């Protein structure tokens, strides 16, 4: 059986698809958010900084360490990875409970494991592509992260000009922070120039991702190895 539910805790808005009926993920999310809020109350720069912080001790809670690592890798602030990091630890939590099929979609920043093929739609609100395509994902035994940053839609803070920058990585926390970092560099006089500038920046991070997809108006740029791109609805499951 596959179960679907929505979990909403203030800013955290998760659409969950999982093969586990009883998981208590809501309680786990409350605990993770508690750790995050406690640390922000202690160090307010963790919330506001747009650059990595160098004064994080090694005895912080795992969610703080994860976000700080992603921040340093992508050269952005720690909160750039908050949605992806929450998705990642939530998916790992479900895997530790025995899940073989879970999709944790935290506002478009996704961590998943799948023993069935699944199609993940790319939501960019692009006037040309009309949100009509996505990635066809093969079955896997380890989780993967798919995260998107945009200057046009969603709550992401982006200094670039793309409809979307999507990063596929083995860790959703990395995918989230890298999507923000790369999207910040989608700038140029022409669309092709803007995409090329961002792809050149992405080259610096290629050890941390599998693939990058950039959409700007009628132009698309890619780097690395992406899943198969297909026409799709947001989530199609092949049973």
Can you give the pLDDT at residue 100?
97
Q: What is the pLDDT of residues 189-200, one digit of tens each?
A: 788 999 999 999
Q: What is the pLDDT of residues 12-31, one digit of tens each?
A: 999 999 999 999 999 999 99
pTM of the model: 0.90
Q: Transcribe the chain into DSSP letters.
A: --EEEEEEETTEEEEEEES-S---HHHHHHHHHHHHHHHHHH-THHHH-SS--S---TTS-HHHHHHHHHHHHHTS-GGGGHHHHHHHHHHHHHHHTT-S-EEEEETTEEEEE-SS-EEEE-----TTTTT-EEEEEPP-SS-EEEEEE-SSSSS----S--SEEEEEESSHHHHHHHHHHHHTT---SSHHHHHHHHHHHHGGGGGG-SEEEEEETTEEEEEE-PPEEEE--SEEE--
Q: What is the pLDDT of residues 47-105, one digit of tens each?
A: 999 999 987 887 899 999 999 999 999 999 999 999 999 999 999 999 999 999 999 99
Structure tokens, 12: 């955290």
- The residue ranking higher by pLDDT, 230 or 4, is 4
Can you give the pLDDT at residue 238?
47
Place 109 in a pLDDT band, splitting at 50, 70 and 90: very high
Whole-number average pLDDT of the chain: 89
Place 126 in a pLDDT band, splitting at 50, 70 and 90: low
Average pLDDT over residues 116-145: 81
Domain locations in the chain as residue ranges: 3-237
Q: What is the pLDDT of residues 157-182, one digit of tens each?
A: 555 667 789 999 999 999 999 999 99
Can you give the pLDDT at residue 229?
87
> Burial of 42 by CB count in 10 Å (0-12 exposed, 13-18 middle, 19+ buried)?
exposed
CATH of domain 3-237: 3.10.520.10
């Amino acid at each position: 059986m596959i179960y679907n539910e929505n979990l909403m805790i203030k800013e955290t808005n998760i659409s969950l698809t999982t093969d586990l009926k009883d998981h208590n993920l809501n309680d786990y999310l409350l605990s993770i958010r508690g750790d995050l809020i406690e640390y922000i109350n202690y160090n307010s720069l963790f919330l506001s900084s747009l650059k990595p912080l160098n004064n994080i001790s090694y005895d912080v809670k795992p969610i703080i360490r994860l976000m700080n690592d992603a921040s340093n890798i992508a050269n952005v602030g720690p909160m750039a990875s908050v949605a992806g990091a929450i998705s990642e630890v939530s998916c790992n939590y479900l895997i530790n409970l025995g899940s073989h099929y879970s999709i944790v979609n935290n506002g478009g920043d996704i961590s998943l494991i799948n023993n069935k093929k699944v199609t993940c739609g790319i939501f960019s609100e692009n006037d040309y592509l009309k949100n009509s395509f996505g990635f066809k994902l093969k079955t896997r035994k380890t989780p993967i992260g798919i995260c998107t940053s945009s200057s046009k839609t969603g709550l992401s803070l982006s200094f670039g000009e793309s409809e979307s920058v999507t990063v596929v990585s083995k860790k959703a926390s990395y995918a989230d922070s890298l999507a923000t970092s790369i999207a910040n560099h989608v700038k140029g006089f022409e669309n092709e120039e803007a995409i090329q500038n961002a792809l050149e920046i992405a080259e610096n991070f290629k050890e941390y991702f599998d693939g990058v997809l950039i959409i700007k108006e009628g132009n698309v740029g890619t780097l690395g190895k992406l899943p198969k791109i297909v026409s799709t609805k947001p989530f199609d499951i092949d049973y």
